[in-house]
Amino acid sequence: MFKFIPNRLAFIVLVSACSIILISMGLRQTFGLFFEDFEKGLGATRTEFGLAIGIQMLFWGIFAPIFGLIADKLGGNKAVFIGFMIFGLGVYMLYAGPNTGIFFQISLGILIGIALGATAIGVPVSEVGKHFPNQNRTVATGIVTAAASIGYFLSPLFTKYSLGLVGWEQTLKYFMYFIGLGLFASIFLFPSKTILHSTQADRDQSFSSAIKEAFSHKGYVLLVLGFFVCGFQITLVGTHIPGYMQDRGMSGWSATIILALIGFFNIFGTLGMGFLGTKYKKKNLLCILYSLRAISICIFIFSPPSIINSIIFGITFGLLWLSTVPPTNGIVAQIFGTKYLSTLFGIVFLCHQFGAFAGAFLGGYFFDTYGSYDYAWYMAIALSIFATVVHFPIDEKPIEREAAPLSNR
């Protein structure tokens, strides 16, 4: 009978990664709910707020491959532990100061962005991928990504309640307790004792040759371009949906409902996509996913604002939210193997964060310039069509490498 958990170490790493990503991604999802408090308390405009989130996304992406390399060389536990230390510093500065002007960008943007490069998505998902064989890797990474959904569901509810009860500064202080739990969980993100490759050539591959090989592969380049779209869309929603709903005359809780439903239904989306990734071509699943995102956004922005419309969008976009991660990570591992998986997926994720920067910044810029978020939504729809097209030609076949001469090993 097929055994899903290959060994005890894999189980420990899976639980650790789920805990890490639940905390990190859960906290990261709530910052959009602070926009009014930052406007009143710190004098930040929506453009400045959007810029800070954009910087956060950009530094998240820049440091994802850096922490990925640390994880590949020294272990994911060390990379994530460092990340949570930086996360704590960023949150502390945000409520204790200095936290206005350039320091607002440093704390919310740079420091928290660097921390996310280690603690969110890239390293935890890839480290789990190293412990599971190809036939059930997308299921395992789907479980980890689904853990982020629990954070997505609970964190907005907790944050909205806490903001109303004790204010934004005390709420950020509470975040420090969760970061402490993340530090503890990171200790158990142990590296794999074996590399899941079949040949000596795979085991002998150097870092530089892995990078060169990846960027000479057409499918990898297309995957990098496609993941830009995912970053643009989810960051546009996560950052600006509170302001967008307020602009359409809806109460603050309507945005909270959307974010909470996105988190809850993302559980089913990521687990379902992880399972489907074991049955069907992953590139085809990505094509379908991005086309459905375009439909979901169109229905949402072109329908009259209402609680029902908000619920429908939260459910549909939640099913599609992080469902891109298991097949994307799975394609990288399937083509190139797992030795440099954290690094190679980190590079793919870097492009995701370029998209995230654009989504966060342009959302605020369009609103301050034109008084509306509409142009940002139109871009999100067009990018969905682009992503649907670019994923189709990807060749998922594993690369076959020639073994290096014995004298070079």
Q: What confidence tens digit (pLDDT) does each residue in 223-241 have? A: 999 999 999 999 899 888 8
Q: CB-based burial of residue 74 (10 Å sphere; 0-12 exposed, 13-18 middle, 19+ buried)?
A: exposed
Cα–Cα–Cα angle for 195, 200, 205, rounded to 5 degrees: 75
Does residue 6 belong to any structural domain of this protein? no
User: Is the confidence at residue 18, as pLDDT, over 90?
Assistant: yes
Instruction: Calculate mean pLDDT across residues 244-255.
Output: 82
Does residue 406 belong to any structural domain of this protein? no
Instruction: Calculate mean pLDDT across residues 259-265.
Output: 85
pLDDT, residue 2, reads 47
**Total number of domains in the chain:** 1
Cα–Cα–Cα angle for 140, 215, 203, rounded to 5 degrees: 60
Name the pLDDT band for 405 (thresholds 50, 70, 90): low
Does residue 1 belong to any structural domain of this protein? no
Which of residues 174 and 135 earns the better pLDDT score?
174
User: Is the confidence at residue 146, as pLDDT, over 90?
Assistant: no
Other CB atoms within a 10 A radius of the CB of residue 92 amount to 18
Does residue 182 belong to any structural domain of this protein? yes
Alpha carbon 10 to chain centroid distance? 22
Instruction: Calculate mean pLDDT across residues 188-197.
Output: 75
Both tokens of 238, joined, read: 């996560």
Alpha carbon 167 to chain centroid distance? 27
Q: Can you spell out the DSSP letters for 31-48?
A: GGGGHHHHHHHH---HHH
Q: Is 188:78 a contact under the CB 8 Å cutoff?
A: no
pLDDT, residue 1, reads 36
Q: Is 169:368 a contact under the CB 8 Å cutoff?
A: no
Q: Give the predicted TM-score (pTM) of the model.
A: 0.77
Does residue 322 belong to any structural domain of this protein? yes
Dihedral sign of CA atoms 178, 180, 184, 186 in order: positive
Does residue 186 belong to any structural domain of this protein? yes
Q: Is 349:64 a contact under the CB 8 Å cutoff?
A: yes
Lowest-pLDDT range of 103-117, 248-262, 315-329: 248-262
Does residue 315 belong to any structural domain of this protein? yes
Parent domain of 164:
16-191+206-400
> What 8-state DSSP symbol labels residue 324?
T
Read off the CATH number of the domain in which 268 is found. 1.20.1250.20
Distance in angstroms (rounded) separating the CA atoms of residues 355 and 17: 25
Other CB atoms within a 10 A radius of the CB of residue 198 amount to 10
Does residue 379 belong to any structural domain of this protein? yes
Peptide bond before 98: cis, by omega within 30 degrees of 0?
A: yes
Distance in angstroms (rounded) separating the CA atoms of residues 279 and 274: 9
Phi, psi of 263 (to 5 degrees): -65, -45
CA atoms within 13 A on the CB side of 341: 37
User: Is the confidence at residue 409, as pLDDT, over 60?
Assistant: no
